[in-house]
Amino acid sequence: MPQASDEGGQPLVLLVEDDPQDALIVEELLADSGLAVRLEWVRSVDAARQALRRLRPQCVLLDLGLPDAYEFSALSAVLAEAGDAAVVVLTGLAEEQAGLAAVSAGAQDYLVKGRVEPEWLGRSLRYAMQRKQAEQAAVALQAERMRAKENARLERGLLPTPLLQSRPIEVATRYRASRGSATLGGDFFDVVESDDKVVHAVIGDVCGHGPDEAALGVCLRIAWRALVLSGVTGAALLRQLERILEAERSGGEVFVTMTTLMLEPDQRTLRLWRAGHPGMLLHDGGQVTLADPGQSLALGLPVEADWHQDVLELPEDAGITLYTDGLFERRLPGEPPRWLGEEGLLDLARRHAHLDGEGFLDALLADIESVTAPEAAADDLAVVHLRWTARS
């Protein structure tokens, strides 16, 4: 049977029919139906499988009574390979109940041989293709709703409400998913106050992006909070988190960068431990500086590591800003390629040093978006700003 011209973007219909006379009747009915389509004819289930993989038609007209099929095996085989294609089954006069069963099994419609008029055939194929598109849109919408609910659950786990009792400290946080991403990454943070009035904070980044990384970030964040509230801090805390990481990660190549710190009740002493994580911004009145205590190893690397304590004495009414690398690992417009980097981040931060935490983060993120390339947000980012609001 000749194949119709490909001109005009006509939909491709795959006819699976072993009887040449019936195939010719279908071709003539389509020619008289007013529905412009391209027609491809095959005679068996195996040939239909190959044609579906090769041609990707918009519709399949399937005879249920093929010699190499038993009961609904032809329909099952075609549905498994059909992808976006609508499926309309052809039955004999005595098989109308089989047509109804085929629709229940996943076909979009059925037609009874010998009772098909040209206009009816054209309308049936057109509606079947539209119905398939509507079904796919409904499935995609439901999947998007489920993904949004899962993202909301993960976000609550990654980005919790600070657990503070009485400390006069301002906490401002921001999170941005990577551009075009449908799920969260593994960036996380937390802030808690222990019974001894010490404020603890953490920020971390699981390498990679996707639901596994997000779930691992939730696991580590919850473990961090539980360990801190039970009195585990510093390098011992990081060693315990590394043990949890090695047990929970999906592959041996997954690692995590992290900074965990303690703000002492004197509101001046800052103790921090870094595991391969970027530095932080120090706020002193109208000044912002970059604090980078040096190199350290991330959690989960195949290298025995220990993490040392750094102690900073904060000035009066000081503040700090912690961040993940998605904040500064962004390309600037133009050629050759240039990157914002932490020094570029510092330059932008100094413009807004006079603002409070919420205003500072909003202005900083707006500036970063304005100066970096539109496609630069390829990674998630998390930011935490902490500032004492009064002296005890």
Q: Side-chain half-sphere of 205: how many Cα atoms within 13 Å?
A: 24
Domain with 67, as residue range(s), is: 7-139
117, two tokens: 């008029």
The whole-model pTM stands at 0.65
CA–CA gap between residue 100 and residue 363 (Å, rounded)? 62
- Please report where in the chains the tokens 């904060």 appear, as a residue: 314
Indicate the number of domains in the chain: 2
- Report yes or no on 12 lying in a domain: yes
- Please report where in the chains the tokens 């106050």 appear, as a residue: 193
- Report yes or no on 148 lying in a domain: no
In terms of domains, do 187 and 336 share one?
A: yes
| Contact status, residue 284 vs residue 322, Cβ threshold 8 Å | no
CA–CA gap between residue 364 and residue 229 (Å, rounded)? 32
- Report yes or no on 145 lying in a domain: no
CATH classification of the domain holding 122: 3.40.50.2300
- Report yes or no on 118 lying in a domain: yes
In terms of domains, do 41 and 106 share one?
A: yes
In terms of domains, do 128 and 173 share one?
A: no
Chain center to CA of 113: 47
In terms of domains, do 190 and 123 share one?
A: no
237, two tokens: 């805390």
29, two tokens: 């009915």
- Report yes or no on 1 lying in a domain: no
- Report yes or no on 147 lying in a domain: no
CA–CA gap between residue 16 and residue 47 (Å, rounded)? 8
Closest CA to 225 of 211, 236, 213, 237: 237
Strand 280-284 relative to strand 256-263, pairing? unpaired
Tens of each residue's pLDDT in the chain, 392 residues: 434 334 457 899 999 999 899 899 989 998 888 888 899 999 998 899 899 989 999 999 998 878 887 778 888 888 988 888 999 998 876 667 888 888 888 899 888 888 888 888 888 899 989 888 888 887 777 766 666 666 666 566 667 788 888 767 889 999 887 755 555 678 899 999 999 999 999 999 999 877 888 889 889 999 999 999 999 999 999 999 999 999 999 888 999 999 999 999 888 899 999 999 999 999 987 899 999 767 899 999 998 888 999 999 988 778 999 999 999 999 888 888 889 999 999 999 999 999 999 999 999 999 999 998 776 566 788 999 999 875 54
